[in-house]
Amino acid sequence: MSSRCLCLLAAVSASAVLAQTPTPNYTDGILAVVNDEMITVYDVAAQNVMVERKIISSYSPEQMADPEIRRQIQERISKSRYSVVVDIINEKLIYAEFESIGYKLPSNVIEKRIDEIVRNDHQGNWDEFGRRLEQTEITMDEFREQIQRGIAVDYLLIQEVHKQARVSRQAVENFYNNHQANYTKASRVRLELISVPTAADAKNVLEKHDGGAKFADLAEQHSNHPSRKNGGDLGMMAVKNMAPSFRDAFNSLTVGAISKPFEFEGNTVILRVAQVKGANVRPLEEVADDIESILKRQQRKLRKREYIQSLRAQNYVKIFFKTPIQPKKKG
């Protein structure tokens, strides 16, 4: 199911999540207007429900009792809701452009998408699907309209953004020559590890590292892995024998770089590449397709930003909050 459909069917859970969130209670109100369409606080909270659940679940009950941790959670949720508002604004702008051009979607395209949703997410059970719609207080016509808007937005983005991305052979070669370290294969590697209970703990470690603390010192102070006694040093190991999640993290790193936090055996871990041996540079022909994909993603990101900016200049957009969203307390 698309993210837009998930947002619709998850809306019924929004109130429950809001009640668990250690932020001020929200009252519904207008956050933004795009032409003649309003974006409300509840619209945003409903679309953001799964993200907020993930944020909250990354903290233990003991951490939630800490006022500073609760402040951090509130800040993270506020920022995520602001991001949702921007996404909603952009989608409304793109759909308005779709309509202004005069494009029309065949009704069978919309019905086919709905059939796919029922088949893939409800095992083809239309009764179950209908009950889910009733729970969300969304009519079938409203759901169909949302599906139509989603398809329209995707179509226009493909035409105006994705198809415009073109990468020359010279650009691929230049990228390859400037990023040789990214295409070096090693047979053996020495890693350093920091393992902590939660994602919040990992974020705290990274902030200290960004502030100048040495990785080895942080491992000794914070890691719950036996390697903490050696500053997190795991010793030299064969790349082929590494755990898949370790290997995936390592493949995106160069010597001296540290990974993004990832889950491993119930903990959140961070890796640092201390040394590699047996390094060989992969030939251009072996990685050319990957490089082209990277460059196209970069082009699409830039093109989408420019496209949205041009749409904003052509439409009425009014935002009634500062970044991030500052919620109003009830009463």
pLDDT in tens, 203-245: 999 999 999 999 999 999 999 999 999 999 999 998 888 899 9
Residue 322: pLDDT band with limits 50, 70, 90 = low
Distance CA 43, CA 34 (A): 14
Tokens read off for 74: 């509130």
Q: Are residues 261 and 206 in the same domain?
A: yes
Question: 1-5, 58-62, 130-134, 292-296 — which one is most confidently predicted on average?
Answer: 292-296
What percentage of the chain reaches a pLDDT higher than 90? 54
Q: Are residues 15 and 139 in the same domain?
A: yes
- Residue after which a domain boundary falls, among 135, 165, 195: 165
User: Does the pLDDT value for residue 298 go beyond 90?
Assistant: yes
C-alpha gyration radius of the chain: 24
279-290 pLDDT tens trace: 678 899 999 999
Residue 280's beta-bridge partner residues?
A: 185
Q: Are residues 99 and 216 in the same domain?
A: no
State how many domains the chain has: 2
- pLDDT score recorded for residue 78: 85
Average pLDDT over residues 30-40: 91
* Average confidence score pLDDT of the chain: 85
State the amino acid at position 64 in one-letter form: M
- Residue after which a domain boundary falls, among 98, 132, 165: 165
Q: Is the CB of residue 273 less than 8 Å from the CB of residue 239? A: no
- Give domain status of residue 176, yes or no: no
Q: Are residues 32 and 157 in the same domain?
A: yes
- Give domain status of residue 86, yes or no: yes
User: Does the pLDDT value for residue 121 go beyond 80?
Assistant: yes
- pLDDT score recorded for residue 137: 73
- pLDDT score recorded for residue 299: 94
Q: Are residues 145 and 27 in the same domain?
A: yes
> What range does the domain containing 273 cover?
187-278
User: Does the pLDDT value for residue 327 go beyond 80?
Assistant: no
User: Does the pLDDT value for residue 22 go beyond 60?
Assistant: no
Average pLDDT over residues 151-174: 93
Average pLDDT over residues 8-18: 40
Comparing CA positions, the residue from 200, 184, 178 lying closest to residue 61 is 200
Q: Are residues 201 and 134 in the same domain?
A: no
Q: Are residues 125 and 210 in the same domain?
A: no
Q: Are residues 27 and 145 in the same domain?
A: yes
User: Does the pLDDT value for residue 187 go beyond 50?
Assistant: yes
Comparing CA positions, the residue from 167, 170, 162 lying closest to residue 303 is 162
- Give domain status of residue 207, yes or no: yes
Q: Are residues 194 and 274 in the same domain?
A: yes
User: Does the pLDDT value for residue 92 go beyond 90?
Assistant: yes
Comparing CA positions, the residue from 315, 304, 331 lying closest to residue 157 is 304
Q: Are residues 144 and 198 in the same domain?
A: no
- Give domain status of residue 63, yes or no: yes
User: Does the pLDDT value for residue 7 go beyond 50?
Assistant: no
- pLDDT score recorded for residue 12: 36
Q: Are residues 161 and 12 in the same domain?
A: yes
CATH label of the domain that carries residue 244: 3.10.50.40
Average pLDDT over residues 311-319: 93
CB-CB neighbours of 37 under 10 Å: 13
User: Does the pLDDT value for residue 54 go beyond 60?
Assistant: yes
- pLDDT score recorded for residue 19: 39
User: Does the pLDDT value for residue 23 go beyond 70?
Assistant: no
Comparing CA positions, the residue from 26, 156, 31 lying closest to residue 91 is 156
